[in-house]
Amino acid sequence: MRERLDKVLAHLGLGSRKEIARLARAGMIAIDGQIIRDVSHKFDPSASRIEIDGEHVIYQTYFHLLLNKPAGYVTSTKDHDGAPITELIPEEHYRDDWMPVGRLDKDTEGLLLLTTDGMLAHRLTHPRWKVAKRYYAELEEPASQEDINAFAAGMELQDEKLQPAELEICQDQRKVELVIREGRYHQVKRMFEARGNRVLYLKRVKFGPLELGSLGTGEAKELSAAEALALYAEVGLKADIPDELN
């Protein structure tokens, strides 16, 4: 599909349209080896070589960011009842079209995925696809085998019937890991409350095939091509990833 030069470069995060026009006038933009000074020039970005000041720029349709969310931030791209997660995004990764995939409570830490692909976000959060989310939690009271059994059977919270969940108890029985496959409101906290317990600390450590790894608290990174491929495969979608990134 042919698109305007300024629209393509703005999509890639290479500046505002005003800044891109300035680069074009300076003769710093080349498409397939030809200097382009007219920002209204149309071309197929997926089939062309784009260069800015002699540097090859790889065109991507979608972008994905993995964030290790600290406590105290809200899963929002706007200031609403607390500091929004966008404050944590490094300048080189900042975009206006980031969408958080699911939510983490204000006091919950850990893995949060942001994407610009709406279909991917929809499938990753839809219960039909049963994408596994692993959490580490610290509890007020020790967990028990009865809790394991209740989680595995699929709990009922008010009028909600939950899918079976996997609960693993650590050596210190106040520390647990659990896997859920849906993302209902305050789900983990409500599940333990229904068992007469209370969550004191909660951190998401894995989402589908994605893991935090060595990513520090408050840090963010773009997904690698391998991570993006695995994420799309998890929900039956074909990833649109440039050959240069594979």
Give yes or no: 105 in active site.
yes
Residue 79 in tokens:
């200031």
DSSP 26: T
* One-letter amino acid of 192: F
In angstroms, the CA 77 to CA 74 distance is 9
In angstroms, the CA 144 to CA 194 distance is 14
Residue 190 in tokens:
């409500």
Which residue reads 């995004």 in tokens? 89
Q: Which residues of 3-26 are buried (b: 16+ CB within 10 A; e: fewer)?
A: ebbbebbbbbebeeeeebbebbee
Q: What percent of the chain is helix, strand and coil (3-state, nearest 5)?
A: 25, 30, 45
Q: Which is catalytic among the residues 44, 105, 147, 243?
A: 105
DSSP 189-204: HHHHHHTT--EEEEEE
Contacts of 203 by beta carbon, 8 Å cutoff, 6+ apart: 108, 109, 110, 135, 136, 137
> Which residues belong to the active site?
105
